[in-house]
Amino acid sequence: MKNLKSIYLLVVICFFVLYGCGKKKQGEKFFFDIPGYFKHEIEYIKTNFSSVSKISVYNGDTSQQQLKVNEVNWEKEFALFLKSDINKPLYVANMHKVDWPLPLQVDSSVEKQGYSVVANNKNLDIQEVGIGKIPQTIEIIIRKSNLLSETLIKANYMKDSAYSILGEQHLKGFSNNTFLITGKLNK
């Protein structure tokens, strides 16, 4: 009887050990932590820049603004970046990392210049994220499609410099909409 209990206990322990090995640990990130990076960048921008030169274009209508950094709601301004969490289980299961080629140099000590995380599934909203190393750049490509519309958004951020969000929405049977938001950070 003791042997049966010991075998049962051993089987249960093995199950939990094997089951746990394939699971992501709490807080572990498979891909670049985009929301975490932008939470940090918002604080960095608030303390290291004085203003932002912003241009907004909607269907050809343009407006320009020069805003002090503390006048901008950065959580709203960077909402698209903050919501682009490719470490959610759906994205982790359906995306893969692709290293960008090295520059045309033979020196093997040169670091790769960046990589992309690309969707294996065309039904995911986020289709591609590019992470450049020098300077730190991030590009996110989002495609959404339903019975009424198709939307393509390209968001770019270049550390210490600028950001842009370009979008096109095609409404079936209606007019198309385009928008562009650019911001240049000023010290």
**Each residue of 146-175: pLDDT tens digit?**
888 888 899 999 888 899 999 999 988 888
Q: Is residue 51 part of a domain?
A: yes
Q: Is residue 10 part of a domain?
A: no
Q: Is residue 92 part of a domain?
A: yes
User: Over the chain, what is the mean pLDDT?
Assistant: 78
Q: Is residue 11 part of a domain?
A: no
Domain count along the chain: 1
Give the bridge partners for 168, in sequence order: 152, 178
Radius of gyration for the chain, computed over Cα atoms and rounded to the nearest angstrom:
22
What domain range is 79 assigned to? 28-101+113-186
Q: Is residue 17 part of a domain?
A: no
Q: Note the pLDDT tens digit of each residue in 44-62.
A: 999 999 999 999 999 989 9
User: Which long-range CB contacts under 8 A does 124-127 form with residues at least 24 apart?
Assistant: 124/90, 124/91, 124/94, 124/95, 126/84, 126/86, 126/91, 126/95
Q: Is residue 153 part of a domain?
A: yes
pTM listed for this prediction: 0.72
Q: Is residue 12 part of a domain?
A: no
Q: Is residue 38 part of a domain?
A: yes
Give the bridge partners for 149, in sequence order: 171
